[in-house]
A and B are shown apart, each in its own frame.
Chain A
Amino acid sequence: MAESVTAEKVKAKMAGLLRQPIERLKDDALLTDLVSQSLLLVEMVIELQEEYSVRLVQDDLKDVKTVGDLTRLIEGKAA
């Protein structure tokens, strides 16, 4: 049986992709504070979609501002 995707697992993956300690990825941390270049944000979002076999479109991310917003979105899409 496939392992379930949880917000915590997504956060751990994000920490690896961003090469940042997971403690820095608090739920209310702004993504723009963690990722200085928008291109790295694109790269991370694409990698997360590949990792969890989910598909996001621009509209899905229009209200995503924080780490918590993104992890919940991926968790929800993967469910």
Chain B
Amino acid sequence: MIDENELWILSFYRTSEISGALFFGTLARSMRPGPIQHDMTKHFSDEALHSWYWTSCINNLGAQPLKLGEAYQDQYIAAAGLPVNLMEVLAITQVFEKRVINQYARHSQAPDLSREVRETLAKIMIDERWHIEWIQKALKQMEKDYGEGLIEATLKHFWEADQEVYRKTMQEHEERVRHLFKPR
């Protein structure tokens, strides 16, 4: 079984993965053919699959996912503004993916984690590492078009927004996160 706090957290992960899939699905649809279109389409399919993993994980723990309105990404847009070109889209995603993998790694360290959750986190983290890699490579290739300085400044801008959003999210859901790390 799963308690209320853990159900909320897993549902939050699920909602964020769905938002990620919708975001990349929409962008992949409008990309010109090439390596970025290829990797972005794979990224989109990974995010969709992850949302299924979380749905299935929650179901296997005897619960139903909670319907949550806002995903973590929505708060990013509110804090950092809309990305308006592909480089900015990839920069915001890079920052977000790093946050996700850190959060999943942290969650993996929680005591008394069920096998179901541990395995789900482990298989998603493998894909997340690849997400960071392909975006890093793509941003490197974009240096000739956008300039290294602008890319670094953009990453910094989104990284600062990430710090703010993460701080607010942790503050808002402090109780739930603390509960996760409490021995049961």
**A interface vs B, CB < 8 Å?**
38-43, 45-47, 49-50, 55-58, 60-62
Contacts A38-B77, A46-B30 known; A57 to B82 CB distance under 8 Å? no
Chain B residues with Cβ under 8 A from A49's Cβ?
Answer: 85
Contacts A38-B82, A42-B83, A45-B84 known; A57 to B150 CB distance under 8 Å? yes
Which residue of B has the minimal Cβ distance to A44? B30
Smallest Cβ distance from B108 to chain A, in angstroms? 30
B110 proximal to A (CB < 8 A) = no
Contacts A38-B77, A42-B89, A46-B89 known; A58 to B82 CB distance under 8 Å? yes
A58–B89 Cα gap in the complex (Å)?
11
B27 proximal to A (CB < 8 A) = yes
**Is B26 a contact of A39 with CB atoms below 8 Å?**
yes
**B interface vs A, CB < 8 Å?**
22-23, 26-27, 29-30, 32, 77, 81-86, 88-89, 145, 150, 154, 157
6 tightest Cβ-Cβ pairs between the two chains A and B: A45-B84, A56-B84, A43-B26, A61-B84, A47-B30, A43-B30
**Is B82 a contact of A41 with CB atoms below 8 Å?**
yes
**Is B26 a contact of A58 with CB atoms below 8 Å?**
no
Chain A residues with Cβ under 8 A from B86's Cβ?
Answer: 46
A55–B85 Cα gap in the complex (Å)?
7
Chain A residues with Cβ under 8 A from B154's Cβ?
Answer: 57-58
Since A39-B26, A43-B27, A55-B145 are in contact, a sample of 9 more A-B pairs with Cβ atoms closer than 8 Å, ordered by chain A residue number, is A43-B26, A43-B29, A43-B30, A46-B84, A55-B85, A57-B84, A57-B88, A58-B84, A61-B82
A76–B89 Cα gap in the complex (Å)?
23
A43–B25 Cα gap in the complex (Å)?
11
Which residue of B has the minimal Cβ distance to A17? B30
Residue from the list A40, A55, A62 in contact with B26, Cβ < 8 A: A40
Chain A residues with Cβ under 8 A from B77's Cβ?
Answer: 38
Which residue of A has the minimal Cβ distance to B145? A55
Which residue of A has the minimal Cβ distance to B23? A39
A39–B30 Cα gap in the complex (Å)?
12
Which residue of B has the minimal Cβ distance to A47? B30
**Is A58 a contact of B150 with CB atoms below 8 Å?**
no
A40–B32 Cα gap in the complex (Å)?
17
Chain A residues with Cβ under 8 A from B145's Cβ?
Answer: 55
Chain A residues with Cβ under 8 A from B26's Cβ?
Answer: 39-40, 42-43
Interface centre among A42, A50, A57 (most CB of B within 10 A): A42
